[in-house]
Amino acid sequence: MSDARGVLRLESLSRSYGPVKALDGVDLEVRAGEMITLVGPSGSGKSTILRLIAGLDRPDHGRVYVDGADVARVPPHRRSVAMVFQDYALFPHLTVRGNLLFGLRVRRVPRAEADRRARAAAERLGIADLLDRHPDQMSGGQRQRVALARALLREPSVYLLDEPLASLDAPLRFATRADLLTLHRELRTTTIHVTHDQQEAMTLGDRVVVLAAGRVRQVGPPQQVYDEPADTFVAGFLGSPPMNLVPGGGVLGGTPDETLGVRPEDLALAPEGPVAVTVEAVEALGSEAVLLTRCADGTRLTVRTGPRPGVGPGDPVRLRADRIHRFDTATGLRR
Amino acid sequence: MSRVRRPLTPWAFLAPYAAAVVLLVVLPAVLNVGYAFTDHTGLTRDPRFVGLANVRRLLADGFLLDSLRASLFHLALAVPVRLLAAVGLGLLLAAPRPGGRWFRTAVYLPTVIPDVALAVLFLWVLNPLYGPLNQLLRLVGHPGYTWLADPTTARLGVVLMLAFPIGEGFIVVLAARRMLDGRLYEAAALEGCGPFGQLRRITLPLLAPVLVLLAVRDTILTLQVNFVPAYVLTDGRPANATLYLPVYVFDQIFEFSGFAYGSTITILLTVVTAAVITGLLIMLRRWRVLR
């Protein structure tokens, strides 16, 4: 049993809400100590997976194994999981101390021991000086740390983080992302992290799981999923701006039964390039520029270039495609 | 430079209400205080100033003591019972469940029934011979009570009747409970907090401001709304057990032509209400119910 600590397995997990299939046969195995990012558009079933693992909801079919054991009949608090909710779900009438002690009091941990542990968790997350404040007297980032500290106190086998960075502003999100990674490296506890933010998906997590319409589309290390998307959905979802998907037999060549994909950064301005386009718009982003172009046959191609590309709307340019992905048009799967 | 003109619109909107408040509340209240220092009967037009004579009469009035005792007994029982019913039913019926709409309607229904009609209904409910309450008691082997003929059960009967029109408090609790974030309960469930623990550790503390408001409101209300049931059910009897302050005021003013003395008692009623609410708030502060 101790070998299985931190191992999480989902077996053909399905859950419907009325006519809506939130999850449709999800299989996933997470290794001990691994950080997994679930990513997908809204309604893809990310949060449902977390709720099923936590025991806040029951699957229609399938099983959840935590630490190697089937937890179908185990109530939420007896499962070795801790969850950080999207809006943190801090108790507004309690101070930070009260929030941290909540679970310890419910579990009747002796007072001195509970205080010691709460303080240790608060110090670890740098909120020891906020112990007497109420949640409404704190910033979003501080609240997020309290929620993390509360999860930490459960000393679980698996952490479930439901979009923990979504409510933070951009600079804070960047800093907190790094903090989360550091914390995970220190704890080495299995973590399932849900996000709809692609940057988070790429930077946090040993592996990324791409979900759509309740199904797992692809699982793998972030760079691998980015480099070799399993189907046109993953290709279009990961990456910003998204991959250019062009019907075969068109400007990028290929056969009529395939769809060709090329990432904006894999298209380069080249005087001798095979693809002739007209620039329609230039989005200067400071560190880079994005060209929106159109071919003679109407196909639109997005190109990522360095800053100050030296072209403007209406200019004819030629492009070279460096890495072309091929997908079966009928199934959408990678060839 | 032209002076910025303050718009008159808000005052125009306020005016009718303000006029009504002054005419119907402030003016009568001030006159009431004035009358308390006279010998006004309500029948003649020449009240004479008598100083503190009415207050001295108050201190020596045995009926008033009975009346005060009846009111405080009623307050001590009716406020908790009504709050408990409103909060209990509000929390129970807040969650969506099949048929919930009908239960909620049923709870609110007695509130829209006129007081007098409800009181007449309770004359039947509390009837010792054929009333359903005694019949129920007989089912479990109890002989039943002569409800309105015995001082204690008469008081209980009035409290029982007023335990039904709790619609407003019920709606407030229902709405307040529905505004609480469901994730708090999920977070608590993950920590092993069961339904009773969630009620104690989350629901009640978060509803505390609403509950305090309801308690204060019900204290004011309860000291006054027992007039109709007492008048219809018992007329202040038996043995002055239901001679609540509003009933005594009515008797003094309209039955015994003691307008000035009645006015003095209404001031006492206001003082008692203020004292009870102050005590309540001090107690709540000491218990740290409110942040």
**End-to-end Cα spacing for chain B:** 49
Q: In angstroms, how far is CA B232 from the centroid of its own chain?
A: 17
Residues of B in contact with A85 (CB under 8 A): 183, 186-187
DSSP classification of residue A34: -
Show pLDDT as tens, one digit a residue, over chain A (335 residues).
457 888 999 999 999 999 999 999 999 999 999 999 999 998 899 999 999 999 999 999 999 999 989 998 999 999 999 999 988 999 999 999 999 999 999 999 999 999 999 999 999 888 999 999 999 999 988 999 999 999 999 889 999 999 988 888 888 888 888 888 888 999 899 999 999 888 888 888 899 999 999 999 999 999 999 999 999 999 999 888 999 999 888 888 888 899 999 999 999 999 888 999 999 999 999 999 999 999 988 999 999 999 988 898 999 999 999 899 999 999 999 98
Residue of B nearest to A101 (CA): B191
Q: What are the CB-based long-range contacts (under 8 Å, 24+) for B147-156?
A: B148/B123, B148/B233, B148/B234, B148/B238, B149/B238, B150/B238, B151/B238, B151/B239, B151/B241, B152/B241, B154/B233, B154/B234, B154/B237, B154/B238, B154/B241, B154/B242, B155/B70, B155/B73, B155/B74, B155/B77, B155/B241, B155/B242, B156/B77
Q: For B43-87, what is each residue's pLDDT tens digit?
A: 877 888 888 888 898 888 889 899 999 999 999 999 999 999 999
Question: Does residue B6 have a pLDDT over 60?
Answer: yes
Cβ contact B242:B70 at 8 Å: yes
Report domain B47-286's class.
mainly alpha
Least CB–CB distance from B191: residue in A93, A102, A134: A102
**Cβ distance of A77 and B192 shorter than 8 Å:** yes
Residue of B nearest to A89 (CA): B184
Q: What is the ipTM of this complex?
A: 0.85
Cβ contact A118:A154 at 8 Å: no
Residue of B nearest to A79 (CA): B190
Superfamily of segment(s) A2-234: P-loop containing nucleotide triphosphate hydrolases (3.40.50.300)
Q: Which strands, in side-by-side order, build the sheet including A316-321? A: A267-269, A316-321, A275-284, A289-295, A300-305
The strand pair at A289-295 and A275-284 is best described as: antiparallel
Least CB–CB distance from B191: residue in A77, A92, A134: A77
Q: Does B109 touch chain A (CB under 8 A)?
A: no
**Cβ distance of A87 and B181 shorter than 8 Å:** yes
The Cα-based distances of B77 to A311, B74, B82, B156, B233 in angstroms read 84, 5, 9, 9, 18
**Cβ distance of A56 and B291 shorter than 8 Å:** no
Q: What angle do CA A131, A126, A159 make, to 5 degrees?
A: 95
Query: Rounded distance, CA B59 to CA B154, Å?
Result: 27
**Side-chain-facing half-sphere of B75: CA atoms under 13 Å:** 25
Query: Rounded distance, CA A252 to CA A255, Å?
Result: 10
For residue B161, the distance in angstroms to the closest alpha carbon of chain A comes to 36
For residue B62, the distance in angstroms to the closest alpha carbon of chain A comes to 48
Q: Give residue A1's pLDDT.
A: 46
Instruction: Name residue, tokens 């240790």.
Output: A120
Phi, psi of A153 (to 5 degrees): -65, -20
Q: Give residue B71's pLDDT.
A: 92
Residue count of chain B: 291
Record the pTM.
Answer: 0.82
- Helix or strand run (H / E) with residue A65: strand A61-66
**Side-chain-facing half-sphere of B127: CA atoms under 13 Å:** 9
Domain boundaries along the sequence of chain A: 2-234, 246-328
Domain boundaries along the sequence of chain B: 47-286
Query: Rounded distance, CA B125 to CA B131, Å?
Result: 5
**Cβ distance of A83 and B187 shorter than 8 Å:** yes
Question: Does residue B21 have a pLDDT over 90?
Answer: yes
CATH number of A246-328: 2.40.50.140
